[in-house]
């Protein structure tokens, strides 16, 4: 059930302005509409034709793989948007709109060098509607067998937009050039056991990238 839902306020809010947070790869306009600059996140070595069209994994040979997204709302699965009582309540999108009553979330990932190892870096983004509804109940889980788990520690990177980052190993499970990859990163109100067991009945909210 949505808690503390707000009505749409996306006309003009004096907290919003045109700016780009380069380190977080978020661009926000004066209405609050926030776009994740996936092309910048992917980097100059990524395939120019593909890097701006979704969340991709890439390496020096620039092969790229599209991720698959799944949402969960009150135990039901959705692929892009979820409606309840005739109104949209949750959306998986790279164009986040904070404060309009619709919970937005997205995850982007790529291969990076960290501690002399190639690892998966995933940035997880949610808007203030997610934070207002679930806040400290949000957890992150990732890994080939969903073996890594912790409470989310979101930082506000633009007005109403929050980001957290995780690093995973097992990069070899990504098959470059395949139509779908196996990234295994998720954010939501779940326990580690619920995700590992595939039991979603009691999960209020979640977004998974596979």
pLDDT given for residue 46 in this prediction: 54
pLDDT tens-place string over residues 15-52: 999 999 999 999 999 999 999 998 788 776 555 444 44
Going from the C-alpha of 158 to that of each of 13, 29, 73, 90, 112, the distances in angstroms are: 13, 10, 25, 20, 24
Note whether 125 and 163 are within 8 A (CB): yes
* Tokens 């499970």 found at: 173
Q: Residue 130 to residues 65, 84, 183: CA-CA distances in angstroms?
A: 28, 16, 23
- Count of CB atoms within 10 A of residue 71's CB? 21
Tokens matching residue 204: 């209020």
Strands 87-92 and 103-114: parallel
pLDDT tier, 77 (very low <50, low <70, confident <90, very high otherwise): very high
Domain-by-domain residue ranges, the chain? Answer: 67-209
Instruction: Identify the band that residue 109 occupies on the pLDDT scale cut at 50, 70 and 90.
Output: confident
Could you identify the residue written with the tokens 């939501």? 188
Instruction: State residue 42's pLDDT score.
Output: 73
| Number of CB atoms found within 10 A of residue 206's CB | 24
For the stretch 131-171, pLDDT in tens is 999 999 999 999 888 999 999 999 999 999 999 999 988 66
49: how many CB neighbours lie within 10 A of its CB?
8
């Amino acid at each position: 059930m949505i808690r503390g839902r707000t009505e749409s306020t996306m006309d003009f809010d004096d907290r919003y302005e045109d700016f780009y947070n380069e380190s977080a790869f978020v661009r926000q306009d004066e209405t609050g509409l926030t776009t994740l600059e996936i092309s910048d996140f992917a980097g100059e070595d990524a395939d120019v034709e593909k890097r701006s069209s979704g969340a991709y994994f890439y390496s020096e040979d620039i092969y790229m793989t599209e991720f698959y997204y799944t949402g969960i709302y009150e135990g039901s699965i959705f692929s892009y948007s979820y409606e309840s009582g005739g109104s949209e309540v949750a959306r998986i999108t790279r164009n986040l709109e904070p404060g309009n009553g619709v919970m937005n979330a997205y995850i982007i990932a790529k291969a990076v060098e960290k501690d002399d190892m190639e690892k998966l870096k995933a940035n997880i983004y949610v808007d203030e509607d997610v934070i207002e509804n679930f806040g400290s109940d949000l957890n992150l889980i990732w890994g080939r067998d969903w073996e890594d788990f912790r409470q989310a520690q979101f930082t506000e990177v633009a007005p109403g937009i929050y980001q957290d980052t995780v690093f995973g190993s097992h990069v070899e499970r990504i098959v470059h050039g395949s139509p779908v990859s196996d990234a295994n990163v998720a954010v939501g109100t779940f326990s580690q056991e619920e995700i590992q067991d595939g039991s979603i009945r009691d999960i209020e909210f979640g977004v998974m990238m596979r």
